[in-house]
Amino acid sequence: MPVLPSVLMVFTGGTISMKIVPGRGAVPAQSGREILDQVPQLASLAQITCVDFDRLPGPHWSPERMLELARDLDARLVSETFVGAVVTHGTDTLEETAYLLDLVLRTDRPVVLTGAMRTADDPAWDGPGNLIASVRAVTAWRDRPPGVAVMMAGTLHAARSVVKSHTEALDAFSSGDLGSSARERIATDRIEARVELVEAYAGADAKFVRHAVATGARGIVIAALGRGNVPPAMLLGVREAVAAGVVVVVCSRCGRGHTAPRYGYEGGGVTLHDAGALFAGDLPAPKARIKLMVLLGAGSTAETIRSSFARSGA
């Protein structure tokens, strides 16, 4: 009888671990072992080593905790025993954790994040199917390039490209046309937490950008309009931030497409570029924030940061 591959399975919480408590709603309720006991099919696919790293809802994650998860995975995957790892995670911030792991993990073994859109006491609980598909993906990785992926609803997404695009559908995650899945690695043991995300909107002025600078931001990501444009009054804040030594990165509120300095009117992308702002290409704003936190934490030079975002397809 063939020996089954060994897979590290790290449980961190999320809807996959939750049950409905009357009067409170869905809350984390199950350990990793309790979840595994409900998916006996896994025993025929791999030898599973279960680790309870945490029991967090998605919104309780911080980038600092994501980095701790990365270092924990690196330490465990040093062992030749494991062919790779599956990590359960709350879906609200799953794409951000997946991308941070993709940037900073040292291991070349596959890591697949998954979760659930339904709680464990829901007849339509999708947790078991996602776990089975994730283990299959890890054990069949073979010639795929190293990196982190997300498995949801039977589809494997590259960490860089995946986004949660629906609030509750079972197939809530998509990759769309969000550019290359090529992995970029950034060597660091710390991140810069002082990176803010500010959204542009009709009539927006500079107050939130100025507040970010005044409260010590090292970086600011702008979720801009269209291809990367802001109202004229907001441009003033960007100019002031760059002059103060704060890195400003421009993304788009749109779900698809690239940012680029195309429009030359006041507040248009050309004027943002001339002010010293960088463009994130096709990276969504939350992921651009993660990337900037990692780059700043690594002590990257201004030119390194500029080059890194230029590779995002701006």
Long-range interactions of 28-31: CB distance < 8 A, separation 24+? 28/55, 28/56, 28/57, 29/120, 30/120, 31/55
Say if CB 151 and CB 134 are below 8 A apart.
yes
Those residues whose C-beta lies under 8 Å from the C-beta of residue 46, and which sit 6 or more positions away, are 4, 5, 6, 7, 83, 135, 138, 139
For residue 201, what are the CA distances in angstroms to 165, 220, 256, 269?
20, 16, 18, 15
* N-to-C CA span, the chain: 52
How far is 212 from 275, CA to CA, in rounded Å?
17
Q: Which residue in the list 12, 15, 88, 93 is annotated as catalytic? A: 15
Residues 25-45, buried b or exposed e (16+ Cβ, 10 A)? ebebbbebeebbeebeebeeb
Residues 260 and 262: their CA atoms lie apart, in Å, by 6
The reply to whether 215 belongs to the active site is: no
Number of neighbouring beta carbons within 10 Å of residue 202 = 6
Residues annotated as part of the active site: 15
